Amino acid sequence: MCNDINILAIESSCDETAAAVIRNGREVRSNIISSQIALHTLYGGVVPEIASRKHIERINQTIEEALEEAGATLEEMDAIAVTYGPGLVGALLVGVAEAKAIAYGAKKPLVGVHHIEGHISANYIENKDLEPPFMCLVVSGGHTHLVNVKDYGTYEILGKTRDDAAGEAFDKVARAIGLGYPGGPKIEKKAKEGDPFAISFPRAKVADGPYDFSFSGLKSAVLNYINGCKMKNEEINDANIAASFQQAVSDVLVEHGIRAAKEHNVKKFAIAGGVAANATLREALKSACEKEGIRFYHPSPIFCTDNAAMIGVAGYYEYLAGTRSGWDLNAIPNLKLGER
Ligand code: KG4
Ligand code: ZN
């Protein structure tokens, strides 16, 4: 008899339709991502209605591909895991409805997964030795959270953004300098040609939240700088703006993250979410961790941005903990981490 636990995972919270098969929590048997980025690029950002429609068109095929690539059948699956929040409600609903239909039809347990828990769990895929407790900086297009991961499924949120998420700031600044969507990778590329110390952008502190972040002031500072250049008829150096902005974001994230790890005496530090794919941020965190004797973990870029493998990993640990969702599982666009 086979004791393996296989999870079929589905993710559709934003603009990627994704499905994956995960064996025993950390082995990715398949990870299929049908990206809508090219489509949303036409509009300069994600259009929720279009995202939902595309999910509907693509989800069946994406799941079939995930099973096929894994060489697996639905029968072999022990549970169906699905992101049910946070995210775009229409987009989430497509995945949730699909997962419910599959689970009901195939008589499999259904496990609703928190999207951020998925991002954090992406670290388990390639770091087989990583186990809680550890500190995790989650930086995506919708979230910037500093999370003390106390155990599987047990999270203490130490800090979060008061306004824009880090990825959102990347996207807005990219738009301001005409780089388009998605901003993060485009800023990163542009920044390679620039001087990160050419322009002094603010590193915001939040008075009553030692680990909280604020990026809207930084975004405004970039916009003001661009307007100032235009008014003075000065040349606008996009590469210097991109590099200096990226440096400012990275400095704040590293300072808060390392301080949190030290003050909580946590010796392991991980990063997650789309912005965690940024090489400048990774390098800065890596060397700050080395200096402090903290072990640094990060997923490969493919597991940083939205994918279903991470949902399968989180789903596995939820499944082991006994989490089972009912047929009334609903999409919750503002689901809080640690809530059910
Ligand atoms: O985690 P993710 O795929 O989706 C959300 O859950 O939000 O993150 C997407 C965000 C976008 O804002 C994108 O610009 C940013 O991650 N991003 C990056 C990089 N790659 C993606 N930001 C900085 N550098 C990157 N290389
Ligand atoms: Zn995400």
- At 146-197, the pLDDT tens digits run 999 999 999 999 999 999 999 999 999 999 999 988 899 999 999 999 999 9
Evaluate if residue 216 carries a pLDDT over 70: yes
pTM reported for the whole predicted model: 0.95
Tell me the residue type at 90: G
Mean predicted confidence (pLDDT) in 29-44: 90
Query: ∠ CA 126-131-136 to the nearest 5 degrees?
Result: 80
Evaluate if residue 2 carries a pLDDT over 80: no
- CATH 3.30.420.40 in the chain is located at 6-122+307-320, 132-299
Residues around ion ligand 2, judged by CB within 5 A, are: 140, 306
Q: Binning pLDDT at 50, 70 and 90, where does residue 36 land?
A: confident
For residue 143, the CA-to-ligand 2 centroid distance in Å is 8
Mean predicted confidence (pLDDT) in 288-316: 98
Nearest to 250 by CA among 134, 101, 139, 122: 139
Query: Which atom of ligand 1 has the smallest separation from the CA of 273?
Result: 1
For 251-268, give the secondary structure using H, E and C: HHHHHHHHHHHHHCCCCE
CB 34 within 8 A of CB 16: yes
For residue 168, the CA-to-ligand 1 centroid distance in Å is 8
pLDDT digits 0-9 by tens, 230-246: 999 999 999 999 999 99
**132-299 CATH, one of 3.30.420.40, 3.10.20.90, 1.10.760.10, 3.90.226.10:** 3.30.420.40
Strands 134-139 and 144-151: antiparallel
In terms of C-beta density within 10 A (0-12 exposed, 13-18 middle, 19 or more buried), how is residue 290 classed? Answer: exposed
CATH of domain 6-122+307-320: 3.30.420.40
CA distance 94 to 76: 23
